[in-house]
Chains A and B, each alone.
Chain A
């Protein structure tokens, strides 16, 4: 059989337009890549990148305090204001503090339950636990925040229970915000850590034990290093989600303000979009710094 007839036997019968497109595409990986990328990239760039860039620019605009009109000449006034005024520094530090605390609380709670789920529970128990951890995710965010408002209220169940051991409810304030946010984002932290632990082979742990390492040594030298990307992946969720939150603060935070509240009031009541945009740059800078810092750990592939 000649080479030509052999090729004719495997190449698709030519004719229909779809066939022709198909065979020319399979010969041209670059075109194929271009077609795959075109729509999603166009969407992300047109909708998101342009919007972010525009936000950056509008942070340099100002609002005429008299007429409320936006003045589109570029100045650094807003940026100067948010970097020098003590209000913004206080609120930024408070927001980072709350987000960091929420993240630490979540990781500390997630580690034992994820470890039990991944390494100790039976197959059946593991499934039940995964469902049990996932279910609260489907309850509305607002309802969960409101549930904590009810739990922590004066005369609520927390006070009722705490009074028996001589304690009191923390009431509405930053403690309540940390508790509520840690509660709401907990499943987002448990799941990546659980997935990360599942990827740590049991044989490695057995080997470590056989070679005489104590439980703590095995944890410190084997489990934690392998788990770091997963922990960071979980922390991205809890940290970022807390960083921008303003609704939980309104529901259980008392009079406290976080960065989100400042942005929200400036977009709405104060009608100062440029200043709101400038304040929004603070969490953007923090998150981009955080993401670039953790990029090399491989955490982003664990999201």
Chain B
């Protein structure tokens, strides 16, 4: 398609503008973490490292991050296992009700978080008479994280086809050996990509978490929500946010490296 130079320039300019708008609020967060004033007025009257120092000594923030990492790791592990099994079942077999199962995996993320949240809250407390705890959060998170692993693995299996697995079986490998030596190595980067997404999804989730967390369980988003409106704590929240944005370079770099590898494989 021939796009005139002016259309190209227009699209490039729009892209730049959109990116600028995407980063403006993040820049405000970074700036506010150095802001001497606790009010939100612009421009800030002065800059200080005070909040950063306080943030590094904030036990609440540290505990919340630990809790969130624990929850995200556990739910990602469950999602990896269940998502992989499910995608292998759906991609390698045909059966009655297949499309319903497909829809069922998507449902926990397609329905609004508040629905998942209240449904699980009702089920845990009302039906099972369970005490809400960190376990109930993990169960809830794992449920909506399955889909990210499922989608990634499913797409990879579709592209792989079944030839290598069949060849392996024809050559006498049992199904464990075939999985370990043929299927798994090809799935590895898809698992990592799906796992990263699941981790991110769980780490940042607030709505379902509010409904499924026990009184003592403070994940990072819950801690942030608790502190956002406290004038003395809000700037510390900004610091934590900036640290998280900086740390996010690691998973994004990993994801990019993976997609680079898969491109090389293609």
A, B: real partners: yes
B118's partner among A29, A37, A183, A276 (CB-CB below 8 A) is: A276
Residues of B within 8 A of A215 (CB): 1-4, 7
Residues of B within 8 A of A295 (CB): 103
Q: 27 A-B Cβ contacts within 8 A?
A: A36-B89, A37-B101, A39-B81, A44-B105, A55-B118, A55-B123, A109-B18, A120-B3, A131-B256, A132-B22, A136-B22, A138-B248, A147-B28, A155-B40, A156-B40, A183-B21, A183-B25, A209-B1, A215-B1, A218-B1, A244-B207, A247-B207, A263-B114, A264-B114, A283-B114, A291-B110, A300-B106
Residues of A within 8 A of B120 (CB): 47-48, 51
Determine whether the beta carbon of A143 is less than 8 Å from that of B238: yes
Stretch at the interface among B48-56, B172-180, B183-191: B172-180
Q: Is A267 an interface residue (CB 8 A)?
A: yes
Q: How large is the interface on B (under 10, 10 to 19, 20 to 34, 35 or more residues)?
A: 35 or more
Q: Is B62 an interface residue (CB 8 A)?
A: no
- Chain A residues with CB under 8 Å of chain B are 10-12, 18-19, 22-23, 25-26, 29, 32-33, 36-37, 39-41, 43-45, 47-52, 54-55, 58, 109, 112-113, 115-117, 120, 127, 129-144, 146-151, 153, 155-157, 159-160, 183, 186, 202, 205-206, 208-209, 215, 218, 236, 240-241, 243-247, 251, 259-260, 263-264, 267, 273, 276-277, 280, 283-284, 287, 291, 295, 300, 303
Residues of A within 8 A of B83 (CB): 40
Known pairs A33-B89, A55-B119, A153-B41 / 11 extra A-B pairs, C-beta < 8 Å? A11-B172, A26-B174, A44-B108, A113-B15, A135-B249, A156-B40, A159-B42, A246-B207, A263-B114, A280-B114, A291-B106
Residues of B within 8 A of A131 (CB): 252, 256
Determine whether the beta carbon of A240 is less than 8 Å from that of B111: yes
Determine whether the beta carbon of B114 is less than 8 Å from that of A12: no
C-alpha spacing A50/B143, complex, angstroms: 13
C-alpha spacing A215/B2, complex, angstroms: 7
List residues 196-217 of chain B with CB under 8 A from any CB of chain A: 200, 204, 206-207, 211
Residues of A within 8 A of B170 (CB): 10
Q: Is B46 an interface residue (CB 8 A)?
A: no
- Chain B residues with CB under 8 Å of chain A are 1-4, 7-8, 11-12, 14-15, 18-19, 21-26, 28-29, 32, 39-43, 78, 81-83, 85-86, 88-89, 93, 95, 101-116, 118-123, 126-127, 139, 142-143, 146-147, 151, 169-177, 200, 204, 206-207, 211, 220-221, 224-225, 228, 234, 237-238, 241, 244-245, 247-249, 251-252, 255-256
Determine whether the beta carbon of A138 is less than 8 Å from that of B172: no
C-alpha spacing A183/B23, complex, angstroms: 10
